[in-house]
């Protein structure tokens, strides 16, 4: 029997893999108790598993819990902290910080609402981070090793390594499987910038362990993570410079929508240097100087801390994928077909390791597909998913379905209905009217093919459109749906009304005028 705990996090949390546990205060100790108990003893396998799951992030946890709930004999392997990126170094800590940043921003504009707050608003960063650690520790109980053990799942802590087409080793124990799921996630990509590694930088794996607010912060990467954290740190009081290679931030989003967010970041004091190439980083003492090449011009930005958020690299190394006969690509990750099966028909994959849509809800949705297809001859397809996503800046920017350019590429002709949030009463009353809604429908019909929304709570609101797309309800149905007044979701009804007006052709209008004249 294997009695020695494997990969036990060090008592002081000082191991690169367990940096999320720094500082090791009472909340991070609680997180550790849930996510990787020091005294954990791996079980002893008793025969072949229906399903072995590699990785206890969202994709792995949802697959394991779902399969065990349906009666499968399941093993779950995690080398680091259960809960994966989302809980430990992703969604949960970032959204906790963003909430505090919003409180600071609201306090600063309180005078607009007739509320007086004496003196300058300042942020107690130590309290912000402690609140984040407390909430993360509380939430971690959902993903705890003991909770999954209580579901009847054999939880193994250690590195999973395929040793063949139907076997995996973990911490000196061999597991045989009928089916396996690779849900090993992704990590921060390291950009090849001269001098960056030597100068030292933070990623999402280390930034949430800060105990002091950086006075000057450079964020390299203008994607969702870079934008969210730039704005949050600027609102905390850091002098933030956001450096991106594309001409604008959030370059995958609708350009008009992304421009609203860019303007908002600038209003919060973020200096945006986009469209340049980071040529080099130099360190002198505690200062780091970033040299940016921009249109032949060389700019230098000197800061105390650099945060890098330039994309995610799938965790394909060290899994023994070759031994398992699983094809993969270092950048795109594990190759899967539409049913999420890899090149080894016994092995499936889900989550960040095999999709470009690196979101928690995608990982969750893919896990549900895997359960059906791997265990029950299901035919569920990833391409059938209607995936929304949201970047939690202020205002938020959320999207579902096709962008205008995707529709063009796919040869779909569209009509677009645009609503400004300044024309929606509730947004105006809330002082949250800097936003817009764009809904794309198949030309001449009300069938929604995509939508982008910039609004304070766009992430909450986008589900109405996702549901519409999922259920085949068109813009005409949104027009008929009664929305409580005043709500920001009335923007959808307005888009529906705008569509309905297009139905009123001159011919139909002329007929109605004649009919009403006859009724007089």
Q: List contacts with ligand FAD (CB under 6 A).
A: 54-60, 77-80, 84-86, 90-91, 94-95, 159-160, 183-186, 204, 225, 315, 318-319, 351-352, 358-361, 363, 392
Distance CA 307, CA 222 (A): 11
Indicate the residue among 224 and 450 with the shorter CB distance to ligand FAD: 224
Helical segments of 109-223, H only = 125-139, 145-150, 196-199
Secondary element (H or E) of residue 283: strand 277-284
Q: Are 182 and 353 in contact (CB under 8 A)?
A: yes
Select 173 or 447, whichever has its Cβ closest to ligand FAD: 173
Closest approach of ligand FAD to the CB of residue 32, in Å: 14
Q: What angle do CA 460, 310, 225 make, to 5 degrees?
A: 25
Give the nearer residue to ligand FAD in terms of CB position, either 209 or 315: 315
Q: Which two tokens stand for residue 513?
A: 């005028």
Burial class of residue 518 (count of CB atoms within 10 Å of its CB; 0-12, 13-18, 19+): exposed
CB of 272 to ligand FAD, least distance (A): 19
Plot region of 444 (φ>0 → left; ψ -120 to 50 → alpha; else → beta): left
User: What 8-state DSSP symbol labels residue 17?
Assistant: G
CB-nearer residue toward ligand FAD: 153 or 160: 160
Q: Which is nearer to ligand FAD, 185 or 450 (CB)?
A: 185
Q: CB of residue 135 vs ligand FAD: minimum separation in angstroms?
A: 14
Distance of closest approach, residue 329 Cβ to ligand FAD, in angstroms: 16
Structure letter (DSSP) for residue 391 = E
Nearest approach in angstroms of CB 85 to ligand FAD is 4
Supply the Cα-derived Rg of the chain in whole angstroms: 25
For the CB of residue 60, give the shortest distance to ligand FAD in the complex, in Å.
6
**Distances, alpha carbon 381 to alpha carbons 58, 368, 369, 370, 373, in Å:** 19, 10, 7, 9, 9
Under 8 Å between Cβ of 299 and 275: no
> Among residues 171 and 491, whose Cβ is nearest to ligand FAD?
171
Smaller CB separation from ligand FAD, 186 or 370: 186
For ligand FAD, the closer CB: 59 or 489: 59
CB of 84 to ligand FAD, least distance (A): 2
Which residue, chain included where needed, has tokens 């920017």?
Answer: 397
Give just the sign of the alpha carbon dihedral 232, 238, 243, 249: positive
Return the closest-CA partner of residue 130 out of 27, 12, 236.
Answer: 27
Write down the least CB distance from residue 376 to ligand FAD, Å.
21
User: How does DSSP assign 336-378, residue by residue?
Assistant: --TT-B-SSTTEEE-GGGT-S---HHHHHHHHHHHIIIIIS--
Nearer to ligand FAD, 226 or 474 (CB): 226
Q: How far is the CB of 90 from ligand FAD (least distance, A)?
A: 3
| Min dist. Cβ of residue 472 to ligand FAD (A) | 25
Nearer CB in complex with ligand FAD: 394/446: 394
**Can you point out the beta strands (E) in 129-269?**
154-157, 160-164, 167-170, 173-182, 186-188, 216-220, 239-244
Strand order in the sheet with 414-420: 388-391, 396-401, 448-455, 436-442, 414-420
CA-CA distance, 494 to 489, in Å (whole number)? 9
Instruction: Return all residues near 284 (Cβ < 8 A) that are at least 6 apart.
Output: none
Closest approach, Cβ 463 to ligand FAD, in A, equals 13
- Closer by beta carbon to ligand FAD, 268 or else 352: 352
């Amino acid at each position: 029997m294997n009695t020695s705990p494997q990969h036990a996090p060090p008592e002081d949390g000082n191991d690169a893999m367990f940096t999320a546990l720094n500082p090791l205060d009472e909340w991070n100790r609680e997180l550790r108790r849930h996510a990787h108990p020091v005294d954990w003893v791996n079980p002893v396998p008793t025969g072949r598993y229906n399903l072995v799951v590699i990785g206890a992030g969202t994709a792995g946890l949802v697959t394991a819990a779902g399969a065990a709930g349906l009666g499968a004999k399941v093993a779950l392997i995690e080398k680091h902290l259960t809960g994966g990126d989302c809980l430990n170094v992703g969604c949960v800590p970032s959204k906790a910080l963003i909430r505090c940043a919003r409180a600071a921003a609201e306090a600063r504009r309180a005078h607009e609402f007739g509320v007086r707050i004496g003196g300058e608003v300042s942020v107690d960063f130590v309290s912000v981070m402690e609140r984040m650690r407390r909430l993360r520790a509380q939430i971690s109980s959902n993903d705890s090793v003991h909770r999954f053990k209580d579901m009847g799942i054999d939880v193994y802590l250690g590195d999973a390594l395929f040793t063949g087409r139907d076997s995996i080793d973990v911490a000196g124990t061999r597991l045989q499987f009928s089916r396996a799921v690779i849900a090993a996630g992704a990590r921060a990509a390291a950009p090849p910038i001269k001098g960056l590694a030597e100068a030292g930088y933070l990623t999402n794996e280390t930034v949430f362990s800060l105990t002091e607010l950086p006075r000057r912060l450079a964020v390299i990467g203008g994607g969702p993570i870079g934008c969210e954290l730039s704005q949050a740190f600027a609102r905390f009081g850091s002098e933030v410079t956001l450096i991106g290679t594309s001409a604008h931030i959030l370059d995958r989003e609708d350009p008009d929508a992304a421009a609203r967010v860019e303007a908002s970041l600038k209003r919060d004091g973020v200096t945006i240097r986009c469209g340049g190439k980071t040529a080099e980083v130099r360190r002198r003492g505690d200062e780091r100087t970033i040299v940016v090449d921009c249109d032949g011009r060389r700019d230098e930005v000197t800061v105390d801390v650099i945060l890098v958020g330039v994309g995610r690299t799938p965790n394909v190394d060290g899994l023994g994928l070759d031994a398992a006969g699983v094809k993969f690509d270092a950048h795109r990750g594990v190759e899967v077909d539409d049913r999420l099966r890899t090149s080894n028909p016994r092995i499936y994959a889900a989550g960040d390791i095999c999709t470009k849509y690196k979101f928690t809800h995608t990982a969750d949705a893919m896990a549900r597909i895997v359960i059906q297809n791997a265990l029950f001859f299901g035919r569920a397809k990833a391409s059938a998913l209607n995936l929304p996503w949201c970047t939690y800046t202020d205002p938020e920017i959320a999207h579902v379905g096709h962008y205008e350019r995707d529709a063009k590429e796919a040869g779909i002709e569209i009509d677009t209905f645009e609503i400004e949030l300044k024309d929606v009463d509730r947004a105006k009353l809330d002082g949250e009217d800097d936003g817009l809604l764009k809904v794309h429908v198949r030309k001449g019909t009300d069938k929604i093919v995509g939508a982008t929304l910039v609004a304070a709570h766009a992430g909450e609101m986008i589900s109405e459109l996702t549901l519409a797309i999922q259920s085949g309800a068109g813009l005409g149905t949104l027009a008929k749906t009664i929305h409580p007044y005043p709500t920001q979701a009335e923007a959808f009804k307005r888009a529906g009304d705008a569509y309905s007006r297009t139905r009123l052709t001159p011919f139909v209008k002329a007929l109605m005028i004649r009919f009403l004249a006859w009724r007089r």
